């Protein structure tokens, strides 16, 4: 049985006091966000876990400022400044997961994109069950639909929407009427339950919530035969006790009533009838509340026990299925090896490309002695020497170009102005070159004198580093060639296999010599699940369902032709012959009249595979992987172990194929054992002798 979690979802258009007047919006915001006078509340177990807000206009530095303005501008006395969703979050989820659900609700409702909003998540211990948490969210939003391309100041934001004669919007924004209907509230309640249940399912929890009333849930349980659980829902829902019941005296009264109700449920013979009508309204609420809490605890205990038993049963079933998985015949086809060769070749190619890229990146860093000497000189002067040298060369080159241009302008009256500009540039560049030249001369004198010893030491260090890079470069290139060679081997072998029938078996293990009820058609359909008819002492498993009689008159015979496999047939290359059965029904009993083996156009009998064709396996690989991931942990281990065994065999066969220097020639094997087999086994193996690619 699934475990029912706590649910509530309210859609409130601006909260009201007991006298019917509207709450102050800013005060309500402060209470939710624990700000202002509510920043340090006493005698309050509730904790503020998280707050967030969005789409606040530029004039509101803080959401509190926005909500204060909304209240100031709302139509008094009945106008709405905000709408609030209050809904329960789940203790089974982390704070981040609950936040994710709140954000999803914001997005789906359009609030995230079109309305100013703020929300807070509160988290506290459940009042009457400290082992559980009461986690819930208060979401406030303004129903004005924000137009991002038309930002409005605070004096216009809350005005009624209007357009001018040209049809252009003026004044305020439109107000949404999407959330005011009962239908929308019902939709939101249902959608929230769906979102939470999807998260429960995603986390693999057998827990759910429901937006339906207790009566509706009870009726559904009765219809499904779960009368015990249905009876637990046959109760009056607990009333909301409110803040009036929070004072210590009343709280103790609630706890005492809860203890009394609990005692009476254990000792019903000592219970006294209580005239509820004689009790005050407050006492009636306390009594109903205590009864509801007790029933909820009993329901939770029953659900947890059923869940425990369900887990035990699931584990036992998983163990049985795990044994079946490990006993499944291991069948490897050419297609399996071909796919492995392709994938491995691709992996090697990627590795080879990475090694080559690393080699090419390192190669320019390897320098000759002249380059090393220049690098040492540059390093000795904090990398300023090379910078100055390049700047000098650049300036000198630019100066030469300007001089050539000036020479071409001499004697041309129309170019006098340009010639003057060239002269200025020549002067500036000459000065710049001279400064750089002096700096270079200083560096060169230091290189031959004061800095010589320092440069020699740096040069030796750089030489050592350069030698290491040369060795690393050689290693990288050698590794590249080795890996590329491996990739080429796998590619070449894969190309040779590409022309073969991908469904041809190369290796079989645990596949019986003769067809029995444990075998599976196409590796999927157990023969034990097929209808079996007997004819002349032989049992035939039908590959298709028998059709209903054409004529319902029991006295009239109906004849049909169906296909089947015969139990006890020899299994050859993972296949058995297919049979055609001519059957007749008489008085609702089926009887075989005769059998024959269908023949294909090439004079060979039709066959039925006992393994899944390679192409089908490739198509179903993703879905099978997904199923394995979401299955019981015991089954996941079994699938993982079986996968490792299969991968090991495929790898071994691939290496055998690669090791063949000339033509590929590999006999299919029953298993990978090399010891001598008995005569009976040798006789079976003769079926496969001479079977080569």
Q: Quick one: 389 and 433 in the same domain?
A: yes
CA distance 660 to 341: 14
pLDDT tens digits along 425-443: 999 999 999 999 999 999 8
Q: Quick one: 170 and 273 in the same domain?
A: no
Q: Which CATH number do you get for residue 76?
A: 3.30.930.30
Q: Quick one: 604 and 520 in the same domain?
A: yes
Q: Quick one: 148 and 247 in the same domain?
A: no
pLDDT tens digits along 351-374: 999 999 999 999 999 999 999 999
pLDDT tens digits along 91-108: 889 999 999 999 999 999
Q: Quick one: 20 and 131 in the same domain?
A: yes
Q: From residue 511, how far is each of 66, 187, 360, 384, 639 by CA, in Å?
A: 75, 56, 52, 77, 18
Sorted by sequence, the CB contacts under 8 Å of residue 272 that are 6+ apart come out as none
pLDDT tens digits along 11-49: 999 888 777 788 899 999 999 998 988 887 765 556 889
Q: Which of 583, 586, 581, 582 is nearest to 557 (CA)?
A: 586
Write out 610-655 in H/E/C secondary structure.
Answer: CCCCHHHHHHHHHHHHHHHHCCCHHHHHHHHHHHHHHHHHHHHHHH
Domain count within the chain: 4
Q: Quick one: 136 and 190 in the same domain?
A: yes
Q: Quick one: 562 and 415 in the same domain?
A: no
595 versus 665: the higher-pLDDT residue is 595
The count of other CB atoms within 10 Å of the CB of residue 372 is: 19
The packing angle between helices 334-362 and 614-629, to 10°, is: 70
CA distance 540 to 506: 28
**Greatest extent of the chain over all pairs of C-alpha atoms, in Å:** 131
Choose one of 609, 627, 644: the last residue of a domain: 609
- Enclosing domain of residue 31: 3-211
The count of other CB atoms within 10 Å of the CB of residue 547 is: 10
pLDDT tens digits along 160-216: 888 888 888 888 899 999 999 999 999 999 999 999 999 988 887 777 787 666 566
Cβ contact 673:665 at 8 Å: no
Choose one of 609, 634, 666: the last residue of a domain: 609
Choose one of 293, 311, 327: the last residue of a domain: 327
Q: Quick one: 248 and 181 in the same domain?
A: no
Sorted by sequence, the CB contacts under 8 Å of residue 91 that are 6+ apart come out as 132, 133, 135
- Classify residue 19 by burial, with Cβ atoms within 10 Å: 0-12, 13-18, 19+: exposed
- Hey, which bits of 451-522 come out as E strands? 505-509, 520-521
Q: Quick one: 290 and 399 in the same domain?
A: no
Q: Quick one: 69 and 207 in the same domain?
A: yes
Q: Kindly report the CA angle at 379 between 377 and 382, in degrees rounded to 5?
A: 120
The answer to whether residue 644 sits within a structural domain is no
């Amino acid at each position: 049985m699934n475990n029912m979690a706590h649910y509530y979802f309210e859609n409130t258009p601006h909260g009201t006091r007991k006298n019917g007047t509207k709450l102050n919006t800013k005060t309500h915001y402060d209470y939710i966000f624990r700000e202002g006078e509510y920043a340090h509340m006493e005698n309050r177990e509730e904790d503020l876990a998280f707050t967030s807000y969005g789409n606040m206009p530029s004039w509101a530095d803080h959401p509190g400022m926005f909500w204060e303005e909304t209240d100031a501008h709302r139509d008094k006395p009945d106008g709405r400044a905000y709408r609030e969703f209050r809904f329960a979050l789940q203790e089974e989820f982390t704070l981040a997961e609950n936040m994710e659900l709140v954000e999803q609700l914001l997005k789906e409702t359009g609030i995230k994109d079109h309305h100013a909003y703020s929300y807070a998540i509160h988290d506290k211990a459940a009042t009457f069950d400290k082992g559980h948490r009461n986690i819930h969210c208060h979401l406030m939003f303004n129903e004005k639909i924000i137009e991002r391309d038309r930002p409005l100041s605070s004096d216009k934001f809350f005005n009624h929407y209007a357009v001018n004669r040209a049809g252009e919007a003026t004044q305020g924004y439109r107000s949404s009427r999407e959330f005011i209907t009962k239908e929308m509230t019902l939709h939101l309640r249902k959608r929230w339950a769906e979102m939470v249940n999807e998260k429960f399912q995603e986390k693999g929890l057998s827990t759910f919530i429901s937006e339906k009333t207790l009566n509706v849930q009870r009726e559904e349980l009765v219809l499904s035969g779960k009368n015990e659980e249905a009876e637990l829902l046959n109760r009056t829902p607990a009333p909301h006790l409110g803040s009036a019941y929070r004072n210590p005296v009343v709280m103790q009264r609630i706890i005492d009533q809860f203890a009394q109700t609990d005692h009476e449920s254990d000792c019903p013979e000592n219970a006294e009838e209580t005239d509820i009508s004689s009790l005050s309204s407050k006492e009636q609420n306390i009594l109903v509340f205590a009864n509801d809490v007790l029933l909820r605890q009993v329901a939770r205990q029953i659900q947890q026990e059923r869940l425990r038993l369900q887990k035990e049963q699931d584990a036992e079933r998983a163990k049985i299925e795990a044994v079946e998985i490990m006993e499944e015949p291991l069948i490897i086809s050419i297609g399996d090896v071909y796919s492995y060769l392709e994938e491995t070749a691709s992996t090697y190619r990627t590795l080879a490309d990475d090694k080559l890229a690393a080699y090419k990146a390192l190669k320019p860093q390897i320098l000759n002695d002249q380059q090393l000497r220049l690098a040492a000189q540059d390093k000795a002067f904090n990398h300023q020497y090379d910078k100055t040298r390049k700047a000098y060369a650049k300036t000198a080159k630019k100066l030469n170009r300007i001089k050539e241009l000036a020479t071409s302008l001499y004697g041309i009256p129309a170019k006098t102005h340009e010639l003057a500009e060239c002269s200025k540039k020549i002067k500036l560049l000459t000065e710049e070159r001279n400064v750089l030249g002096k700096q270079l001369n200083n560096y060169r004198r230091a290189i031959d004198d004061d800095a010589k010893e320092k440069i020699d030491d740096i040069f030796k260090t750089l030489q050592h580093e350069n030698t290491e890079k040369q060795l690393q470069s050689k290693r990288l290139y050698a590794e590249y060639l080795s890996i590329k060679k491996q990739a080429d081997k796998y590619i070449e072998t894969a190309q040779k296999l590409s022309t073969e029938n991908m469904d041809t078996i190369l290796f079989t293990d645990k596949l019986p010599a003769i067809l029995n009820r444990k075998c599976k058609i196409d590796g999927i359909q157990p023969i034990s699940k097929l209808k079996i008819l007997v004819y002349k002492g032989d049992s035939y498993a039908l590959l298709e369902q028998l059709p209903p009689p054409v004529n319902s008159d029991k006295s009239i015979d109906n004849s049909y032709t169906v296909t089947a496999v015969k139990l006890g047939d020899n299994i050859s290359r993972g296949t058995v012959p297919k049979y055609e059965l001519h059957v007749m029904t008489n008085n609702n009993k089926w009887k075989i009249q005769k059998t024959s083996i269908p023949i294909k156009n090439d004079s060979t009998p039709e066959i039925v595979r006992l393994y899944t064709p390679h192409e089908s396996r490739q198509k179903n690989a993703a879905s099978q992987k997904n199923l394995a991931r979401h299955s019981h942990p015991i089954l996941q281990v079994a699938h993982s172990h079986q996968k490792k065994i299969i991968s090991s065999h495929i790898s071994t066969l691939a290496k055998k194929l690669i090791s063949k220097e000339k033509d590929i020639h590999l006999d299919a094997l029953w298993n990978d054992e090399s010891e001598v087999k008995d005569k009976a086994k040798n006789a079976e193996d003769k079926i496969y002798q001479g079977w080569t690619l």
